[in-house]
Amino acid sequence: MRKTPLLVLAVLAAVATACSNGGGSGPTPSSEARPSVTPGSSTQATTSAPRDCSAGYLATLTTRQKLAQLLTVGITGKADATNVVSTEQVGGIFVGSWTEPSLLASGQLAQVKQAAKVPLMVTIDEEGGRVSRAKNLIGVAPSARSTAQSMTPEQFRDATVTRGRALKDLGVTVNFAPDVDVSSQPDDSVIGDRSFSADPAEVTRYAEAYIQAMREVGVGTVMKHFPGHGSGSGDSHRGAVRTPPLDSLQTVDLVPYRALIGSGAAVMVGHLDVPGLTTPDVPASISPQVMALLREGKGYGAAPFQGPIFTDDLGGMAAITNRMSIEEAVEAALVAGADNALWITTDAVPSVLDRLEQAVKAGRLPAAQVDASVLRMARFKGALPHC
């Protein structure tokens, strides 16, 4: 009569020991996590010790290294990349137009990645058209607008699979694309032909094809520029940009995000002043209200966003640099709720991390918030161990 409840207890214990990666889709518990019961035995079943994958991952990193995992910085070449990865363990590097082509062309990235304690994110802007950092290595692709005018979404998906494989072969792991801005601006304006269409449904179809294709080959994608740059008043590279009011964005600019928020793509937040959403003179990329809108979803009729939130470049765009230093901007972005701060040089990494460590100590940037962001980034780049 004592065997049945003991067996039940053993099964419950096994459930309690099941390891989760925190993302809601963790691996199936292995046989090691199941109770070992001998039929007819009167002894209590034994189980393996509970394991927490997320806690185990976080325990491998110091506070400074956790904070560094929330940074993606532009690099000039192999030496610059190796130095910033080995000394500070930044989570990502960004390959820009100024980066030595040999970094990608000659396989040097493999050596850079060896300096990383956890998998390194290698990012690039490869939209096609005029925003194409790897065109000399993988060929030229038409702009988004030309694509939508000349290809079906299915044809675009096939073409993107080919380009995605080529990027992966170069060592790229994350592409800051697709641009899901909805725009009728002239081709050569700041968004212009980077937008698939002035029709949000059309943008959604082509962006979805792009995300699916890149996911098929194992390259991460990042939708941009939340909550919508397509009708903005100017160029954030040169100064402040004001969008239409939030109410106007609901039926146009926010439509692709609403449809694709569960696609597996990350989201990049732009340096945009949004009436009815952002505080005056606080652009979206450092705005708690914008991060909450995206994370919670309810303010624009979307599901809550579970993936990582990137900022647009915080160090080379006047919409930010006219307002604050890079150290101030990175802190403001992470405190607001971004998971990853992007900028284009490595020079300020030590001073940024010094400031972030002080922000954690002072309570301005809660340690629990840092941990949550570290885990989002780890899941996105496949860095969490399986157990």
**pLDDT tens, residue order, the chain (387 aa):** 333 333 333 333 333 333 333 333 333 333 333 333 333 333 333 334 445 789 999 999 999 999 999 999 999 999 999 999 999 999 999 999 999 999 999 989 999 999 999 999 999 999 999 999 999 999 999 999 999 999 999 999 999 999 999 999 999 999 999 999 999 999 999 999 999 999 999 999 999 999 999 999 999 999 999 999 999 987 777 678 899 999 999 999 999 999 999 999 999 999 999 999 999 989 999 999 999 999 999 999 999 999 999 999 999 888 898 989 999 999 999 999 999 999 999 999 999 999 999 999 999 999 999 999 999 999 999 998 665
Is 57 inside a domain boundary? no
Contacts 24+ apart (CB under 8 A), 20-28: 20/52, 20/53, 20/54, 21/53, 21/54, 21/379, 21/384, 21/386, 22/53, 22/54, 22/375, 22/379, 22/384, 23/306, 23/379, 24/306, 26/53, 27/386, 27/387
Name the pairing type of β-strands 174-175 and 126-128. Answer: unpaired
User: Is the domain of 210 the same as that of 311?
Assistant: yes
Distance from chain centroid for Cα 49: 33
User: Is the domain of 72 the same as that of 27?
Assistant: no
- Decide: 291 and 269 in contact? Cβ < 8 Å: yes
User: Is the domain of 237 the same as that of 295?
Assistant: yes
User: Is the domain of 143 the same as that of 218?
Assistant: yes
**CA-CA distance, 328 to 325, in Å (whole number)?**
5
User: Is the domain of 82 the same as that of 194?
Assistant: yes
pLDDT at 385: 61
Is 56 inside a domain boundary? no
Query: What CATH code is carried by the domain that includes residue 110?
Result: 3.20.20.300
pLDDT at 107: 87
User: Is the domain of 368 the same as that of 272?
Assistant: yes
**CA-CA distance, 259 to 279, in Å (whole number)?**
27
User: Is the domain of 29 the same as that of 139?
Assistant: no
pLDDT at 118: 95
User: Is the domain of 6 the same as that of 141?
Assistant: no
Active-site residue list = 237, 312
pLDDT at 387: 54
> Domain range for residue 45?
1-51
Is 289 inside a domain boundary? yes
Count of CB atoms within 10 A of residue 358's CB? Answer: 12
Is 329 inside a domain boundary? yes
User: Is the domain of 199 the same as that of 76?
Assistant: yes
User: Is the domain of 214 the same as that of 360?
Assistant: yes
Among candidate residues 230, 312, 227, the one with its CA nearest the CA of residue 274: 227
Q: What does the H/E/C string look like for the chain?
A: CCHHHHHHHHHHHHHHHCCCCCCCCCCCCCHHHCCECCCCCCCCCECCCCCCHHHHHHHCCCHHHHHHCCEEEEECCHHHHHHHHHHHCCCEEEECCCCCCHHHHCCCHHHHHCCCCCCCEEEECEEECCEECCHHHHCCCCCHHHHHHHCCHHHHHHHHHHHHHHHHHHCCCEECCCECCCCCCCCCCCCHHHCCCCCHHHHHHHHHHHHHHHHHHCCEEEEEEECCCCCCCCCCCCCCEECCCHHHHCCCCCHHHHHHCCCCCEEEECCEECCCCCCCCCCHHHCHHHHHHHHHCHHHCCCCCCCCEEECCCCCCHHHHCCCCHHHHHHHHHHHCCCEEEECCCCCHHHHHHHHHHHHHHCCCCHHHHHHHHHHHHHHCCCCCCC
Q: 187: exposed, middle or buried (C-beta count within 10 Å: 0-12, 13-18, 19+)?
A: middle
How many domains are there within the chain? 2
Is 30 inside a domain boundary? yes
Is 386 inside a domain boundary? no
User: Is the domain of 41 the same as that of 173?
Assistant: no
**CA-CA distance, 40 to 17, in Å (whole number)?**
24
pLDDT at 51: 57
pLDDT at 53: 86
Give tens-digit pLDDT for 321-354.
Answer: 898 999 999 999 999 999 999 999 999 999 999 9
Is 133 inside a domain boundary? yes
User: Is the domain of 18 the same as that of 101?
Assistant: no
**CA-CA distance, 140 to 134, in Å (whole number)?**
8
